[in-house]
Amino acid sequence: MKKLLAITLSVASLFAYEFAVSKQADINITKDYVANIYSKNKIMVATRLMGFIKKMPVEEGDIVKKGQLLFEVDPSDINSMLNQAQGALLQAKSGVLMAEMAYADALKDYYRFKDLYSKGAVSKRTFEKMTLMKNIRKQQVDMAKGMLKQAEAALARVKAQYKYAKVLSPINGVVTRKLKKVAEMTLPGYPVIILSDLNSLRAKSFVNASDIDYFKLGMPVDIYVPALKKTYHAKISTIIPSADPATHSFVIKYSFKNTKGLIPGMYAKAKIVVGKEKAILVPFAALTTREGIVGVFVDNNGYAKFVPVKQIAQVGSNIAVKGLQGGERVILYPPANLVDGQKL
């Protein structure tokens, strides 16, 4: 038994501990504010047609690309209008043909009576009647051609309505709201879908009046998005100076350098630097617990000394703590069986 204890003590004495020196530093004191992601550019998408929605392949929250189908209106009413326009066009073409035939006959009569008048076979009054009839027939041809152009334009307008039956996304964005469903009636100019532009994403917070002095235009801000487990760098772009009389809060808006992955409506936290404080930095690997108390082991003249510490903040790979003076040699990765007063 004594031999086994001697071997154990010998092994323990040979154990090589890793050390790091605690350092004093000024650290930023931060405060978190609830924020939400939004788009400053919202688009109300409507149709120019009245009709029932035939198809709507998108849902709220879907990301859509420019030119992607948002919804389609049943073109049944357009089909009826098209048939009417096509019928009117045929009627106008027939009217032009009949007017041109009547003009051709009037022109023949004019030249025939003109020859007879030059020979004195008909009276001047009769020739003038033939001349008037020729001019009337010519005007009727011009009128018929004018009606034909109107019919062609009307048909073109009806055909153009077909492109409004399929409503495409005007931007790269996200569907934030659907105001209509399939089989519901749409009216010209009334929004059916609301899109948010993904290229103009911002974040905003509501801040109590007592904290407004912390915020300055252009100040850098870290925006943490829990859903993505990612921090985005931003800056304060807007401070709305008039407080809400109901909540006594101010609206703070943030602009991003990079918005990849963000979607309007996401919950976020804005981390603001509100001051500085002196603290001691130790590597995260130095922290341990003994009997539920967080602390570090320091080298006290060759013996391990457990020092309880209070964590303030994380600074890179280090932890800012209170309870140390700075300059202590702290043990990294202290083994679970290391106890206060043990020889190192």
How far is residue 52's CA from residue 58's CA, in Å, rounded to a whole number?
Answer: 17
Distance CA 37, CA 61 (A): 13
Which tens digit of pLDDT belongs to each residue from 174-213? Answer: 999 999 999 999 998 899 999 999 888 999 999 988 899 9
pLDDT surpassing 50 at residue 6 = no
How many CB atoms are closer than 10 A to CB 179?
14
Q: Are 323 and 298 in contact (CB under 8 A)?
A: no
As a whole number of angstroms, the distance between CA 184 and CA 56 comes to 11
Per 3-state DSSP, the chain is made up of helix, strand and coil in percentages (nearest 5) of 30, 40, 30
Give the position of tokens 């929605």.
53
Q: Which residues pair with 269 in a beta bridge?
A: 34, 224
Cα(237)–Cα(225) distance, integer angstroms: 19
Closest CA to 222 of 38, 35, 25: 35
Instruction: Kindly provide the b/e burial profile for residues 212-238, where b requires at least 16 CB atoms within 10 angstroms of the residue's own CB.
Output: eebbeeeeebbbbbeeeeeebebebbe
Q: How far apart are the C-alpha atoms of 81 and 158, rounded to whole Å? A: 7
**Sign of CA pseudo-dihedral 57, 63, 69, 74:** positive
State pTM to two decimals. Answer: 0.58
119-161 per-position pLDDT tens digit: 888 899 999 999 999 999 999 999 999 999 999 999 988 888 8
pLDDT of 12 higher than 60: no
User: Helix, strand, or coil here: 320?
Assistant: strand
Q: Which of 69, 68, 74 is nearest to 53 (CA)?
A: 74
Give the C-alpha separation, 217 to 125, whole Å: 93
Burial call 106-122: b when 16+ CB within 10 Å, e when fewer = beebbeebeeebeeeeb
Q: What is the pLDDT of residue 215?
A: 93
3-state secondary structure of 183: coil
The residue type at 138 = K
Where does residue 200 rank: exposed (0-12), middle (13-18), buried (19+ CB within 10 A)? middle
**Residue 79 is which amino acid?**
N
Single out the residue of 230, 243, 270, 241 nearest to residue 254, CA to CA: 270
- Contact at 8 Å (CB) between 224 and 268? yes
Strand-pair category, 69-73 with 191-197: unpaired
- Enumerate the H helices of the chain as residue ranges: 2-14, 76-118, 124-165
**What confidence tens digit (pLDDT) does each residue in 20-37 have?**
999 999 888 889 999 999
CA separation for the pair 252, 264 (Å, rounded)? 17
pLDDT value of residue 2: 42
Q: Which amino acid is at 335?
A: P
Q: What does the pLDDT read at residue 3?
A: 44
Using CA of residue 167, residue 173, residue 177, residue 182, what is the dihedral sign?
A: positive
Predicted local confidence at residue 1, as pLDDT: 42
Give me the pLDDT at residue 243, please. Answer: 66
- Is 107's pLDDT higher than 90? yes
66: DSSP letter:
T
Instruction: Give alpha helix (H) positions in 29-75.
Output: none
- pLDDT confidence tier of residue 15, bands split at 50, 70 and 90: low
Q: pLDDT tens, 266-321?
A: 999 999 988 888 899 999 999 999 999 999 999 999 999 999 999 988 888 899 99
